[in-house]
Amino acid sequence: MLYFIGLGLGDAKYITVKGLEIVRQCSRVYLEDYTSILWYSEPDDCILKYCVNMRWEDTHVFSTTHSDLVLRALNAGIQYHVIHNASIMNAVGCCGLQTVSIVFWTDTWRPESFYDKIKKNRDMGLHTLCLLDIKVKEQSMKNLMRGRNIYEPPRYMTFAQAAEQLLEILQNQRDRGEELAMTQDTVCVGLAQIRAEVQTIHSGTLQELMSCDLGGPLHSMIISGHLHSLEVDMLKLFSGPEGLKTLKMTDSSTYVS
């Protein structure tokens, strides 16, 4: 087993309890210090005393280092496991800028603004991460007006619900004669319960993933833009036999759907 263990954003003490447990059990530990900076001053006081610092002399090191290592491991018959931690991908939210969220529609409120953001990204060939709505400790209008502290059961939007709303928006776009940013054949990624033991990842077309059971909450959706060949290889790990059939090559290393 090859473990990829996130060390977090600070010094080595930012490793998770789970990650440290696995480090202590491993027969060999390598410290990857190319894609980030590990801040430390006293190695004896942190996990570095377990580590052998090495550089990947036989690996093409670039921004997709970890995907490359995953694919190499699987090609060699070695299974892998990811232990997540904080990274710049989530901590960057401290600046206050927002991501795309897909909200629950109601009978009287059916916004399409999230589609506009997806369209802008697709027009530029960029992927879009969509966080799906949650409704926790919400009151009905009736209870709210009567001042009763009675709350509705929690609801968590599923990938299928988000996809259904997107497909309805696409139909509205067709009816208005507008150019579509995506179709039911656009390659997407559905993610659920992203943590080490129980996470679920599926890739495929938007239509295909509508009927895919991702399991319990929380769900997220990624709508693909232009895909590099290495990204396609990674998505194949999470797709069915027909899941990526709509991809088309635009040049030697770029795929679109």
Region for 186 from its dihedrals, namely left if φ exceeds 0, alpha if ψ lies in -120 to 50, beta otherwise: beta
Which of 115, 98, 211, 88 lies closest to 172 in space, CA to CA? 115
Of 41-45, 52-56, 137-141, 162-166, minimum mean pLDDT range: 52-56
- Mean pLDDT confidence for 217-238: 94
Q: Do 191 and 220 form a contact (C-beta atoms < 8 A)?
A: yes
User: Is residue 9 annotated as involved in ligand binding?
Assistant: yes
Residue type, 192: A
User: Is residue 87 annotated as involved in ligand binding?
Assistant: yes
Residue 222 has pLDDT above 90, yes or no: yes
- Bond before 97 cis per omega within 30 degrees: no
- 195 or 59: which carries more pLDDT confidence? 195
**Residue 35: per-residue pLDDT:** 67
Strand 100-102 versus strand 248-251 pairing type? unpaired
**Residue 52: per-residue pLDDT:** 44
**Residue 49: per-residue pLDDT:** 53
Residue 54 has pLDDT above 50, yes or no: no
**Residue 58: per-residue pLDDT:** 32
User: Is residue 132 annotated as involved in ligand binding?
Assistant: yes
Q: Do 15 and 7 form a contact (C-beta atoms < 8 A)?
A: yes
Q: Would you place residue 149 in the very low, low, confident or very high pLDDT band (cuts 50, 70, 90)? A: confident
User: Is residue 219 annotated as involved in ligand binding?
Assistant: yes
Q: Would you place residue 11 in the very low, low, confident or very high pLDDT band (cuts 50, 70, 90)? A: confident
